Amino acid sequence: MISYTADWSLLTPEIVLAAFALLIFTIDFMTGVKGHKPFAGRLSIVALVTAAVLMITVNGTQSAGIGDTFLVDPFSTVVKVMILLGAALVVMITMYYVERHEDVYQGELYSLILFAVIGALIMVSSADLITLFIGLELLSISAYCMVGFKRYRKQSAEAAVKYIVLGGTASAFILYGMSFLYGLTGSTSLTVIGGQIGELFQAYPFLIMMSLLFILGGFAFKMSVVPFHMWAPDVYEGAPVPVTAFLSAISKIAAFAVVLRLFFTGFGGIYEEWAFLIAVIAALTMIAGSLIALPQRNVKRLMAYSGIAQAGFLLVPLAAVSTVDLTISVFMFYAVAYMLMTIGAFAVITAVTETAGSEDVSAFSGLYYRSPFLALGMSAFLVSLAGLPVSAGIIGKAWIFIHAVSAGYLWLAAVMVAATVISFFYYFRIIHRMFTQPGEAEAARTEVAAALEPGSLPAASPGIITVVAFSLTGTIGLGLVPFILTNWFTGLTWF
Amino acid sequence: MTGNLLSVLVFLPLAGALILLMLPRENHGLIRSMAGGTALLTLGVSLFAWSRFDGAASGMQLGESYPWIDFGMAAVRYELGVDGLSMPLLVLTTVIAAIAVLASVKITERVKEYFVWMLVLTTGLLGVFTALDLFLFFLFFELTLIPVFFLISIWGGKERNRAAFKFLLYTGLGSAVMFVAFIALAFTGAEAAASAQASFNMIVLADMFANPAIPEVLGTAVRAGLFAAVVLAFAVKLPVFPLHTWLPAAYTQAPVPVTMILAGVMSKMGAYGVLRVGYGILPDQAATFAAVIAIFGVINIIYGACLALVQTDLKMLIAYGSMSHMGIILLGAASYTQAGMQGAIFQMVSHGLIAALLFFIAGALYERTKTGALSELGGLSRSVPVLAGFMLAAAMASLGLPGLSGFVSELLAFMGIFGAGDLIPAAAVIGIIGVIGMILTAGYLLIAVQRTAFGEMKEQFKGLPDVRPGEYVPLIGLLGLSILIGVYPNLLSDIINTTVIDIITRAGG
């Protein structure tokens, strides 16, 4: 039970963020629903950065908890700082986007992002099924609204409906799976469940497996891994670009973090039962994501499939476990890399697609001539996603790979390498486009011919430039001096 | 003084590239001189390193070692060093890179980017030849892929996109296999040495494999599998038949200076990898597989030569000829004799010089005649006598005329294979087939020279400009070095001998 003497200060960052979110919400409707509201965006960034700073100063690397429902440990703190800073970058992209779209209600979008982030933070820290679910739903419901934010655009509305129906089903799966655990243990606490899982599995193997499969299925949807990945391309394509960035970076990492905690703390006792299953899912995800990405022409769909393949890479550490601490270090490094390169790539994608008025990959043709900085930035992000030097991506992937081999999953590592080689093609196709002048035939064929005129620079705002510069520094920097994170991570006790 | 000499050498071109990025795009003269200056400075530093290198000492020299990444179950160190195997290749790289940069006068589009990529590529190549940590080696190896992709796909010929993506696919697959092989090496080594943390250091690994604490881990099958994986990974870059199909496309579509680097230096990365990693860590397997390697070497020689014989395009002919000559390296290395191993290293250097020279001449001819088809060329010895003369000299060097570097390396390699009877069954037969390959070489090279330089002179070739002053630098430089090694082979053998003997004795012990 939670006593009122619990250390509520552990919740400081979340409370501050919630206060800011409500403040922005209030200011928003007090200043009229429509109109430009750059102050709301700036305030959101202030809120997110403040929360991140508080997270570091108040929580640090201590391990504490409010009862056993809300945990503060290095794992949650690192993920939460990542999420907060990532969200701040996404807000910067959003500020660029909303200035070009009169039909979105700016203030609401920012407060929705903040609420979604709060949901993610609660979810990452939760050690109790109920807390976890509340966080999950706060994140998901905010995300549903965000996807349908351009409601007069058919694709956006369609994407929102698809997302809400499928996402709701996934949540129901998770809840159903949890109900078994509660029924068998009489507790919603992950530590209590984790303590009994071994014996329970001996007594009720099928019930426990069913529970695990339902929960895994539900979260597989949130993480967009095979075979629950099919919503991602449609939703990513329909959603406004910054929202796509949010889904593929923030919400995916939050879902992964929860799965790690759930499986290590809750189901850790029966690791042998699920490791192979996760390995198979990871392998299928990497292969399917990479292969289907090959023929994509819409850049958002391409990023969706690339994101699916990346999710497969992130899943590999969960299957090939050495020690829990090392496994989480491996995951965490790639998660940082993934977030940096994904958000950076989406910043460039936003600037390019908004200028060209098209999401076709041909919008990237000759980007280098129009905006060398964006083209170089995008190349670095794609090179990193492809797993080539010098980038955070190759170090992260190599670590996952080495870790998988040391844990005895050589075949999974081999699949990973194969998927990586396939991925060279779709990433390099974009890079190649950016550095070659569009031929005349090409320009005539695509509807974006006008936008490709020399001199039609993507009007990148300082915000976009900041995001790209930040992500670029992180991506390249972690490629050169990865020991900043790796050596720190390997020394941490995560849970 | 020499503490971080190798780091300086490796990252000097990269620093030059970063400075280039800040120069104004339009000022081509400044960009060219900056790039050329960087390349020449790098060459100077490599020669300084050569002067500091003690040929009589065995083991790694000019070493540097710093902890870099702690992966928990494996540690990666930033470790550089050179021995008699890598030192000549290091200098070869800086020579070819400098000459290629100076030979890039015909690049007039997007000059700044071009030189940036060239210098980044140079850093990658130098890194490969100096890295002692397998992980670092892999990173440098992969680093070369990106610049080459751009150099082919932006400044290449008509079929450049196909060639660039083909290169990407093949070398990407090769790197994938390489990475798997490296990780397997590191972990098998750690298991055999009963060490908790895997090491990627090549020297440490070689020791772990030579004196395992738990010998049961290193069964014959495990060792054989590891060796095969390492060789397979580098076979793509080398290239070994049948993994060579990216080669003609890349060599003919890349701009001439890039082809000089591709054929002159990058193919050596493959051979170097086989010798450094395969022979260095698993010498017993290299001896076991000697016959297989020798046979693949002979196949490369014969197959490449036969294909070169039937080519109708000058560049294609040289490309297949270049592949054929890479077989000699395999042949020499397979013999595991002192002469053969020396021949292999000599051939790496010699082939690097001659292949670069031949491609440069082919490029110069194409630029003047606007055609590469052998049937349309002819009589050029009358219109461009000096260039045709250099072509004849290059062809002679390539087919192994005494007094030129090709002769020394081929002689040594074949002496090696004929003397390897106790290691390779039917070594003499393999050697004889190889020598037949040399006759074919003479055939296609003479065809090439005869069809281009001699015969009826075509009307349209009248009054073509002969060698320009700027072109003398690559021509005389490369040919001169080839002659120098041919006349005074001690220059090279003094450096490599100790290492060669080390390699041989390791297999014996």
Of all residues in chain A, the one with the smallest CA distance to B113 is A435
Q: What is the 3-state secondary structure (H, E, C) of B263-311?
A: HHHHHHHHHHHHHHHHHHHCHHHHHHCHHHHHHHHHHHHHHHHHHHHCC
Looking at residue A333, what DSSP letter applies?
H
Report the greatest alpha carbon distance in chain A: 72
Instruction: Provide the pLDDT for residue A2.
Output: 54
* Helix H or strand E segment including B69: strand B61-70
pLDDT-derived band at A138, boundaries 50, 70, 90: very high
CB contact under 8 A, B176 and A421: yes
Closest to A211 measured CA to CA, from A163, A267, A149:
A267
If you ran DSSP here, which 8-state letter would residue A362 be given?
Answer: G
Q: Which residues contact A331 (CB under 8 A, 6 or more apart)?
A: A256, A260, A314, A317, A318, A400
**Are A388 and B142 inside 8 Å of each other by CB?**
yes
Contacts of A483 (CB under 8 A, 6+ apart): B67, B68, B69, B70
| Structure token pair of residue A180 | 């078994």
| Per-residue pLDDT tens over the stretch B33-64 | 999 999 999 999 999 999 988 888 888 888 88
Separation in Å, CA of B68 to nearest CA in chain A: 6
The whole-number pLDDT of residue A440 equals: 45
The tokens describing A67, both together, are: 């009862």
Complex prediction ipTM: 0.88
Q: Tell if the CB–CB gap between A413 and B187 is shorter than 8 Å.
A: no
CB contact under 8 A, A490 and B146: no
> Taking residues A318-323, what's their average pLDDT?
88
Residues of chain A found within 8 Å of residue B169, distances taken between Cβ atoms: 421, 424-425
Alpha-carbon distance values, A132 to A69, A125, A219, A262 (Å): 9, 8, 12, 10
Residue of B146, B153, B172 lying closest to A421 (CB–CB): B172
pLDDT number for residue B470: 82
- Of the pLDDT bands very low, low, confident and very high (cuts 50, 70, 90), residue A281 is very high
Band of pLDDT at residue A61, cut at 50, 70 and 90: confident
**Cα gap A128→A66, rounded to integer Å:** 11
Q: How many contacts does A have with B, using Cβ atoms within 8 A?
A: 89
**Helix or strand (DSSP H, E) at B257:** helix B256-261
- What pLDDT does B119 receive? 94
What is the token pair recorded at B331?
């042949």
Is residue B391 a contact partner of residue B452, using CB atoms and an 8 Å limit? yes
Question: Mean pLDDT score of chain A, rounded to an integer?
Answer: 88
Contact call for B161 and A432, based on CB within 8 A? yes
What is the H or E stretch that residue B77 is in? Answer: strand B74-82
Residues A157, B168: Cα–Cα separation, whole Å: 40
- The predicted pLDDT at position A268 comes to 87
**CA distance, residue A80 to nearest chain B CA (Å):** 23
> In 3D, which of B246, B99, B102 has the Cα closest to residue B171?
B246
The conformation of residue B459, written as its DSSP 8-state character, comes to: G
Contact residues, chain A, for B187 at CB < 8 Å: 405-406
Can you tell me whether residue B404 is helix, strand or coil?
coil
pLDDT < 50: residue spans in chain B: 1, 509
* Structure token pair of residue A443: 């320009």
Q: Which of A73-82, A295-304, A335-344, B425-434 has the lowest mean pLDDT?
A: B425-434
Question: B180 and A417: CB-CB below 8 Å?
Answer: yes
Q: Cβ B173–A421 below 8 Å, yes or no?
A: yes
Which residues lie below 8 Å from residue A433, measured CB to CB, with a gap of 6+? A361, A362, A364, A365, A366, A367
Closest listed residue to residue B487, CA positions, set B399, B406, B403: B403
Of B73, B186, B187, the CB nearest to A326: B73
**Whether the predicted pLDDT of A59 surpasses 90:** no
Pairwise CA distance, residues A282 & A395, whole Å: 19
Integer Cα distance of A133 and A139 in angstroms: 10
Q: Are B180 and B146 in contact (CB under 8 A)?
A: no
Eight-class DSSP state of A228 = S
Angle, in degrees to the nearest 10, between helices B145-155 and B160-192: 170
Are residues A466 and A41 in contact, defined by beta-carbon separation less than 8 angstroms? no
Q: How far is Cα B269 from Cα B234, in angstroms, rounded to an integer?
A: 8
Instruction: Name residue A170's amino acid.
Output: A
Domains of chain A, by residue range, sit at: 271-495
User: B279: closest CA among B335, B196, B319, B327?
Assistant: B335
Helices (H), A387-448: 392-406, 410-435, 440-445
- Nearest CA to CA, how far is A253 from chain B (Å)? 22
Question: Which residue matches tokens 């039909």?
Answer: A103
| Percent of chain A predicted with pLDDT > 70 | 94
Q: What is the C-alpha to C-alpha distance for residues A393 and A389, in angstroms, rounded to an integer?
A: 8
**Which three-class secondary structure state does DSSP give residue A73?**
coil
Closest CA to B450 of B354, B373, B377: B377
**In whole angstroms, what is the distance from residue B67 CA to residue A81 CA?**
28
Report the gap between the CA of A111 and the closest CA in chain B (Å).
Answer: 40
3-state secondary structure of B440: helix
The residue among A470, A416, A424 whose CA lies nearest residue A92 is A470
Interface test with B, best of A385, A394, A421 (most B CBs within 10 A): A421
Q: Using the predicted structure, report yes or no on whether residue A230 has a pLDDT greater than 70.
A: yes
Judge whether A54 and A13 are in contact, CB under 8 Å: yes
CB within 8 Å of B482: residues ≥ 6 apart: B350, B353, B354, B357, B397, B404, B405, B406
- For A441-462, the pLDDT digits (tens) are 455 444 444 444 544 555 667 8
How far is A350 from A343, CA to CA, in rounded Å? Answer: 10
User: B29-54 burial, b for 16+ CB within 10 Å, e for fewer?
Assistant: eebbebbbebbebbbebbeebbeebe
Residue A184 has pLDDT above 80, yes or no: yes
Residue by residue, DSSP assigns A132-195 as: HHHHHHHHHHHHHHHHT-STTSHHHHHHHHHHHHHHHHHHHHHHHHHHHHHHHHS--BHHHHHH
